[in-house]
Amino acid sequence: MEFITKPSGQGHISFPGNIISSTSNNNNNLQISSCLTISSISSEPRVHPTPSRYENQKRRDWNTFCQYLRNHRPPLALSLCSSANVLEFLRYLDQFGKTKVHNQTCPFFGIQNPPAPCRCPLRQAWGSLDALIGRLRAAYEENGGLPEANPFGARAVRLFLRDVRDFQSKSRGISYEKKRKRAKQKGASIDDQSPAGATN
Ligand SMILES: [Zn+2]
């Protein structure tokens, strides 16, 4: 009974579940996991806020996306990457989300601070996705991509993000508009939004 074991250090990922289970011993996967913590950045106050934090995050996000393309079955060349692939990537990230998004059938739909747990899924918060797309859009062009071919700037991606925002806003009982304004006045923390945001 001998099985041939696959080499483990070469970024072979056959399905998403592997990523989480092997983050401790694989460098490539660490890049993935760093992207997956996008929504928790602001909860790590001890990391000194250097001016290049955005740049570092952008580089990590870009590496993560490139790795995603490499691990795609079949592998995808960046030049062939479309907005559909970007949307697929965003949906893939959802499994690592930490934001409770209530289904329409949940009794807590629209309630900001539910009094009890429920079985609704955890997702990536809209603010995290929005900021992520902003960084990847910039990175794409910094890495030689043509602006007119930028899949991160595609209309389909914009519409998708808008839908996510609308639904999460309703589902979580949160108005992102108000939140934004308040955050500007305070000049301070939004739990799940990094500063790179703005799409329009
Ligand atoms: Zn729920």
pLDDT one-digit tens code per residue, 161-183: 999 999 999 999 988 875 555 55
**Whether the model pTM is above 0.75:** no
* Cβ–Cβ < 8 Å for 187, 31: no
For 181-195, the pLDDT digits (tens) are 555 444 443 344 444
Asked whether residue 3 is assigned to any structural domain, the reply reads no
**Ligand 1 center to residue 107 CA distance, Å?**
7
If one counts the domains in the chain, the total is 1
The parent domain of residue 101 ranges over 17-186
d(CA 66, CA 20): 18
How much distance in Å is there from the Cα of 59 to the middle of ligand 1? 35
List the structure tokens of 70. Answer: 């490499």
The answer to whether residue 8 sits within a structural domain is no
> What's the gap in Å between 94 CA and the centre of ligand 1?
16
Task: Specify burial of residue 55 (Cβ count, 10 A radius: 0-12, 13-18, 19+).
Answer: middle
Tell me how far the alpha carbon of residue 83 lies from the centroid of ligand 1, in angstroms.
30
The tokens 């930028």 sit on which residue? Answer: 150
173 CA → ligand 1 middle, Å = 12
pLDDT tens-digit series, residues 57-100: 999 999 999 999 999 998 999 999 999 999 999 999 999 999 99
